Amino acid sequence: MNYSLNGLMAYTDYDIAVQACTKECSKPMKTKLKTTIGAPGNFSHHPTVETYQNNLLKNYTSATVRWDEPTFRGGDLDYYEFKTKITSRDGAVTEKIIKTRNQNCFLEELCAHDGHLYDFTVRAVNMVLTPHSKESPPIIQSSTELQTCDRDDPLLIKSLSDLKLVDPHSWFLPGPWSPAASTTCQYNGSNSLQALSLIHI
């Protein structure tokens, strides 16, 4: 009198029908269900990097980084985490992860240092609320302005904090990181930019 349905996709509508059969089958009993929120899926492409020369300070380049949605949402796609990994000429590595609801951000001082390698990746995150919160959860909000790639969206951070206060047992489901878009910078010894190479892996 029961049956387990396995391998269902998260946050997806399903139509289910059951019939009782002996020599003949009864009229189907139909029902609809929506599966619970899950982690977002993979990204089919790396982020794209659009570079442009800074007109005020000629010794570095600026850039806008853009990305598409993941191939599978798994929920409402509450926000993205964008990661910048910088590898210096001597091998030192620094990483920065910001939260945003936009699908783009900008770097004011890309290639400010000779020989630095930049790797850009992104992943989508869904938030799962429990049914036990005593209040209606606040709406996740974000800034409408273009966001810098090195700072969180403060309005988004406040919204996520407010949600945690209302529902402290809620949790986050991040998807996998996208393929990386890599940028390496080389200078000719002066303040002018000699080469900017985009490497996609």
**Alpha-carbon radius of gyration of the chain:** 23
Report the residue count for the chain.
Answer: 201
Does residue 182 contact residue 196 with C-beta atoms inside 8 Å?
Answer: no
Q: Is the pLDDT of residue 18 over 50?
A: yes
Residue 133 identity (one-letter amino acid):
S
pTM: 0.82
Higher-confidence position of 129 and 40? 40
Instruction: Give the pLDDT of residue 197.
Output: 47
Q: Are 113 and 126 in contact (CB under 8 A)?
A: no
Mean pLDDT, residues 174-181 = 96
- Domains along the chain with CATH numbers: 48-200 (2.60.40.10)
- The pLDDT tens digits for 114-140 are 667 889 999 999 999 887 666 677 789
